[in-house]
Copies of this chain bind each other. A is one copy, B any other.
Amino acid sequence: MINEYQQKFMGASTKQGYDIATKSREIIRDLIDDEIEDLNIVEKDIIERIVHSSADPEYAKLVKISPNFVDEAIKSMKNNETLLTDINMVKAGITQYDGDVECYIKNDEVKKIAKDEQITRAAAAIKYAANEGFEGILVSGNAPTAVWQAMDLFYKGKINLKAIIGVPVGFVGAADCKNALSMSSIPNIITQGPKGGTPIAVACVNSLIQNLRL
């Protein structure tokens, strides 16, 4: 008798929700077990949850997790460091984290930086966060420019960045930024190619949050 829904397994808030989540996991394991057999238990959970959130087993092939990602991300999140999201839709999906979840894309100062420097608001928001003393993890489901900006600041020693969940979606620019990130020394998780997006980013975060509590 663990329950109250097996510690809110995959966000289940009712018995019915828990049963659906459990059955979904069984189906997913049948579909992708072979692809992920060499991963550790946390990495497997991340990928299963991504496939659950997208109903797209192809993600088992597309997700790449750097060897230092899980340890560094868990360490940062155990310290309740900030999760910085690129868009508010990603922020809206993260409801169970004990630390701050921030998104600055609509901040007036960010809009000014974007205009003055002729960069996207997503990139300007990363600069703004770095200036404000951000320390934690970037969670990007949408904007390659946010990931490029974060990498640039990281290599200049100007941002206290512990990991990047870098899964922006799109046919233009997304794959390139994720390739670059996966080759970097920053602890990272990416999806190869154009696919990715909000649910993928959120699934990764929520898997980590659940693992924090085990």
Q: Hey, which bits of chain A sit against chain B, CB under 8 A?
A: 13-14, 16-17, 20, 23-24, 27-28, 52-56, 88-89, 91-93, 95, 114, 118-121, 145, 169-174, 193-199, 202
Contacts and interface: CB of A to CB of B under 8 A. Distances in A.
A105 B106 CA distance: 25
Contacts of A13: 121
Contacts of A17: 120
Number of copies of this kind of chain in the complex: 2
A124 to B, nearest CB: 10
Nearest to A115: B14
A159 B93 CA distance: 28
A174 B53 CA distance: 12
Closest CB pairs A-B (n = 6): A55-B194, A92-B92, A27-B171, A89-B93, A89-B92, A55-B195
Contacts of A194: 55
Contact of A56 (B16, B56, B89): B56
A14 B171 contact: no
A44 to B, nearest CB: 17
A136 to B, nearest CB: 20
A173 B27 CA distance: 12
Contact of A20 (B14, B170, B196): B170
A174 B56 CA distance: 13
